[in-house]
Structure formats: C-alpha cells, structure tokens
Amino acid sequence: MTKFQERVFSGVQPTGTLHLGNYLGAIKNFVELQNKYNCVYCVVDQHAITVDQDPKELRSNILEVLASFIAAGVDYKKQIIFQQSSVPAHSQLAWVFNCVSRIGWLNRMTQFKDKAGKNKENVSVGLMVYPNLMAADILAYLATHVPVGDDQKQHLELSRDIAQKFNNDFGVEFFPQPEPLIYGSATRVMSLRDGSKKMSKSDPSDFSRILLTDDDDTITAKIKKAKSDSELIPGSKEELQSKPECLNLINILSATTNQSVDQVLSHYAGKEYSSLKKDLADSLVQVISPIRGEINNLLNNQDELNVILAEGTEKAAAIANPIIEEVYKIVGFK
C-alpha cells in the first residue's frame, strides 16, 4: 500500500497545433482517466521555450492547447487545467531538482540527443534540463500516475530516479515514484510519410501528420497520400513488422475504432491499401470533426478560456504551494 494519494498529472507543449499522435498517445487517455482519478493537466509553456518560439504565436498556441483539451473532453470543472508558467512551484522545484539530478543521467536522454543533433554545443541549457523540469511538474503535485506517449518513457524513468534520489539524499519518503501510463494501440503514432519517425509537430511536412484542426477533405487527402507500397496488406503481425507504414495505419484504425490490432488486421489481410485508407479516413473524420468544431467554438471566446486558465491556476497552486513549502523545509531553506 502506498502512502500517497493517487493523482494523475500530464502536460502538453504549446509548440503548434496538436496532432493525432498527441491525441491518441496522450489526450484521449487524459479523458478516460478523469473518471477514475483526480487529474491535473497542464499546458507546459516553459518546456516550449527550450527551443525558439515566436511570443505572439506562443500565446495563441497556449489557448489552442487549452481549447484542444476541453474539446477532446477534459472536464475543466471537475479537473484542473492550467498553464505551467502561472504556477511558480514548477520552476522552484525544478531548481531543487537541477541540484539533485546528475549530468550523466541527462546525457543519456535520447530526446535531447535527437533534438540537439549535431548542434549539441549551441542548444539551450533549458533543452538539456527539460527532464528535470518535467520531474518537477509531476512531483509538485505528488502525482502518482502520468499518462504519456511512448516517447516520454525515458523521461518518466528519470523522474522516478530524481524522486528516489531526493528521498535518499534527505532521508525522507516525501516523493512518490510516478508511474507512466502508456496504453492503447497508438502509444507511438508514426509519421504518415516515414514509418520510422514519430508523428511530430516539428516535422517540416504537413502531410506527415493529421492535425486536430484539419478539415474533413484535408484528413482524407493526407490519408490517401500516406506512404504505403504496391503489395497487398499482410495477414500476420510478424509480416507487419517489416512494413512500418502499414503497421502505423492499422494501429491508428485500431485506436480510433476501439478494436484490437488482430481484429483490424484480420479484416484487411490480403486487401488493397485503398480499402484500409478509405475506412481509416472515414474513422478519423468521425473522431476529429467534432473536436475541430469545438476547438473553433472555444477559440472564438478567448475571454472564457482566460477565465478557465485563471481558475485552474488557483486550484493548481493550492496543491503545489504547500508541497514546495515542505520541500524548502526538507532541503533547509526554511
């Protein structure tokens, strides 16, 4: 039995319009989890500025991510949704964690290596210590469960290491070991143009991703153009492993229709891609078009979104501030 009260925390960066990977890998699960847990969902704007952002676009992206949470079904009246930079506890705890976390640990982070590429000496310090801030986001709420896509698994493991080291260093049992919740058939949605790369906001090709704001024709056109091959759809999961683009389409259809991958595969085995693509496009239109409509409605009333953010900030700070007080006592600041 854990002494910690169960609580869910997760965040999404306001670095652009959200895509199907963000939705199936994370936000769809946010919505399901709110029936079982108290949840804190955050627009992580401080993470966003670890790479260059246009200030005007950043502000509108913050509201768009908030609108996307609500449009997808997050209940802002029952749960907490807010903006990271409005609760100083995140930065306060991040600094403590910068002093707990080890450089060797951060050097092993594959996302940093991927994002820094050959430019390692010239990227921001923030990009390197990003996982320490992420640990602070989660642990400022003593959160026990963290729904994320598969790409965040390594960062979550680092959060657990930081929590453990803090507890050991100070001889306390203060932080829980947050558990990743990575589930569903689309924990890593891949680019529609290259099945070896994850679908991402920063991919230069618009045709690599489906956005939550795409209209029905655009969704259909993107799926039609998705990379495939001239063979028929294979019949076994083993054969699918060598066809990452096909596997991706099957996984997405499985997630959007709530069928198992085996069910989807058995239906399309031996058929042409065109039949799979047509059904997938129809299914995506069904899922995305109501979300798109609601995002647009919400964005037409920005005053209301700002009120929702302000209320969320108050509720989030009420949880995080006493936790920071305790941390400050534990480390000897108070």
According to the binding rule CB under 6 A, does residue 199 interact with ligand AQP? yes
The neighbouring-strand residues paired with 42 are 11, 82
According to the binding rule CB under 6 A, does residue 152 interact with ligand AQP? yes
Q: Please tell me the distance from the alpha carbon of residue 134 to that of residue 202, in angstroms, as a whole number.
A: 20
Nearer to ligand AQP, 8 or 26 (CB): 26
Residue type, 61: N
Cα separation of the two ends of the chain = 31
Number of residues that bind ligand AQP (CB under 6 A): 19
Nearer to ligand AQP, 7 or 198 (CB): 198
Q: Which of 7, 145, 160, 198 binds ligand AQP (CB under 6 A)?
A: 198
Q: In what order do the strands lie in the sheet with 80-83?
A: 80-83, 39-43, 8-12, 145-147, 179-181
According to the binding rule CB under 6 A, does residue 213 interact with ligand AQP? no
Shortest Å distance, C-beta 1 to ligand AQP: 28
Neighbouring residues of 52: CB distance < 8 A, sequence distance ≥ 6:
none
Structure tokens given for 98: 């910068």
Listed ranges 124-132, 167-175, 184-192, 315-323: which one lies at the site for ligand AQP (CB under 6 A): 184-192
Whole-number Cα distances in Å, 122 to 36, 47, 55, 115 = 44, 17, 21, 12
Would residue 28 show up in a list of annotated catalytic residues for this protein? no
According to the binding rule CB under 6 A, does residue 180 interact with ligand AQP? no
According to the binding rule CB under 6 A, does residue 12 interact with ligand AQP? yes
Residue with tokens 């936000």: 27
According to the binding rule CB under 6 A, does residue 25 interact with ligand AQP? yes
The secondary structure of 90-125, three-state, reads HHHHHHHHHCCCCHHHHHCCHHHHHHHHHHCCCCCH
Would residue 115 show up in a list of annotated catalytic residues for this protein? yes
Shortest Å distance, C-beta 48 to ligand AQP: 8
Nearer to ligand AQP, 23 or 76 (CB): 23
Would residue 198 show up in a list of annotated catalytic residues for this protein? yes
Residues that bind ligand AQP (CB under 6 A): 12-13, 15, 21-22, 25-26, 148-149, 151-152, 187-189, 198-202
Query: Which residue numbers are catalytic?
Result: 115, 198, 201
